[in-house]
Amino acid sequence: MKNIKYIIGLFLTLAFFASCEEDSNKFGDIIAPSNVQIADPLIEGQDMNDPELLYGDGSGFVTFTATANNVISYNFNFGDGSSEIAPSGIVKHRFTKVGINNFTVIVSAIGTGGVASTTSINVEVYSSFSDAEAENILSGGVIGEGKKWYWAANLPLHIGMGTANDDYGNGEFAYESWWNSIQPWDAEKGCMYDDEFVFTKTADGITFEQTSGPAFIPGTYAGFIGVDGDTCHDETVATTMFGVKNVSLFPSGSKAALEGSYKELPYRQTSFEIQNGGFMGWYVGSSTYDIISIDENYMRVRIEEDPATGVGAAWYQLFTSTKPVQGASEFTNLVWSDDFETAGAPDDTKWTYDLGAGGWGNGEAQTYTDSADNVIVANGVLKITAKKETDGSYTSARLKTQGLYDFTYGRVDISAKLPSAAGTWPALWMLGANFDAVGWPKCGEIDIMEQTGGDKDNTLGTFHWWDTASSSNAMYGETAAVANASTEFHVYSLEWTQESIQVFVDNVKVVEMANNADLPFYDKDFFMILNVAMGGSLGGTIDPAFTEDAMEIEYIEVYQ
């Protein structure tokens, strides 16, 4: 006796129509399909002579074949929350509920005018795949509560594109080999950043619902469906966007997951499919996602664009479980600070000095000292004073954390008020901790803030390094207007990650540069420097009437 038991019931939908002769000429006869049948389902790996394979090999795949007379297409409802249109009447479906389960599959044969005849069959099939950890992280793990995911819009590379299957020699089919340059808060993609996706664990599995936001449709797919591309559309275009949908998890079958790697890390080799055409904000005619990596805070996935477009593209997407806020930092753990509340000399457990004269490579005029006349903590601020001495020379101070504190990646916030005198050159900056070994600029330099001696209404954010390709010094920077920089405190900030380096003034971005392994800013420690120079390449001409001026710093904080 067969272990696959099926019951076929045929239900004819009878429709009665009254129409004029003109209508019948226009639409033709409306005929309900008849003789709807489903062949015995083919369960992948089934062997009736092997007790362990009576319900299949555990993959959950079943092939169904339906036939009928006067039929245009077939709609299969698989009884597990998913359905599929199959004009040929042949469809292969994976059942993912773990264990041996019985499903009632309903097939509707659709004829002219949409009239349908229906039959059903029961199938008993075994699915062995389970990734409980991914399932619990994705959904929060508590039945009924749900977990929300959002675009990681505050991070670079939250969306990227590569080839779906082509390999040019470096495994390009598994990472963003075609387009990988998007930065945080991309203006074009801003319309999708309010999207909200909820995965909920239920007694029977996981459900998905997009509860907020539109769908972004890239140009590669938009042209295929005849709408404007590289912009957002509502549910009148992306008709399957909203509604609660079931989610199934199963072993990855893509070339990327099985043969490739992402930044030298293997894929998780677990995929999930959002049933009934569901998708996570990026509409490309597909609902199956390879999980590249997932933890409580971030999920990186890969989805292949509908192959019918002919583009052969795969999209890479990064989501986070904490909704990003533009202008807010991802770095929240304070790891080092100085609030300059103890009067006297700066804390010698945090600060040391560069001392002496010699131009410092820029033709500067000052001699650096550790004298209280040039550097002191008083009234809750660190005061670095540049002075003209009685002999006409200039003195100042340059503090640094070299040998006491250096770090890799994070956010630095420095609240400072700058000197106003012409010829003063204040700077809040960083050098690579390998400075003594490799020198400048090979060690790398990050200028969080510099102000020239001749322009006190603007500050600079700049990066310096040695470009090996051209064997020359390289730099990249931008200028920001800062009102009242010499009379009010402003916060000068650095956000530094493996992907990018950004400088801000009062949380407004000044400059950003992509980071990579060819730069000295990648996975290398840096230390901080605070100083006021006189004259030189950026200080310029010193006011002949200059006597003294100072930079005051309220606090410095480092977050990671």
Which of 488, 516, 517, 493 lies closest to 506, judged by CA?
493
Decide the pairing of beta strands 313-320 and 298-304.
Answer: antiparallel
Which of 67, 76, 72, 77 lies closest to 87, judged by CA?
72
Q: Do 428 and 416 form a contact (C-beta atoms < 8 A)? A: yes
Cα-flanking dihedrals φ and ψ of residue 451, to 5°? -130, 130
What is residue 25's three-state secondary structure? helix
Catalytic residues: 445, 450
Cα-flanking dihedrals φ and ψ of residue 113, to 5°? 70, 5
DSSP letter for each residue of 246-315: EEEEEE--SHHHHH-EETTEE---EEEEESTT--SSB-SS--EEEEEEE-SSEEEEEEE--GGGS--EEE
Q: Please give the C-alpha separations between residue 114 and each of 15, 75, 109, in angstroms, as whole numbers.
A: 10, 11, 9
Which of 491, 542, 543, 497 lies closest to 522, judged by CA?
497
Return the structure tokens found at 368.
């650096």
What is residue 41's three-state secondary structure? coil
Q: Where are the beta strands (DSSP E) in 50-158?
A: 61-69, 73-77, 83-85, 90-94, 99-110, 116-127, 147-151
Neighbour order of strands in the sheet with 352-354: 352-354, 398-400, 526-534, 424-432, 445-450, 458-467, 472-481
- Gap between the Cα atoms of 288 and 260, Å rounded: 18
Other CB atoms within 10 Å distance of the CB of residue 413: 21
DSSP letter for each residue of 373-395: TTEEEETTEEEEEEEE-TTS-EE
Which of 404, 399, 411 lies closest to 529, judged by CA?
399
Cβ-Cβ contacts under 8 Å for 400 (sequence gap 6 or more) = 351, 352, 353, 354, 527, 528, 529, 530
- Gap between the Cα atoms of 124 and 128, Å rounded: 14
- Gap between the Cα atoms of 290 and 297, Å rounded: 17
- Gap between the Cα atoms of 457 and 418, Å rounded: 10
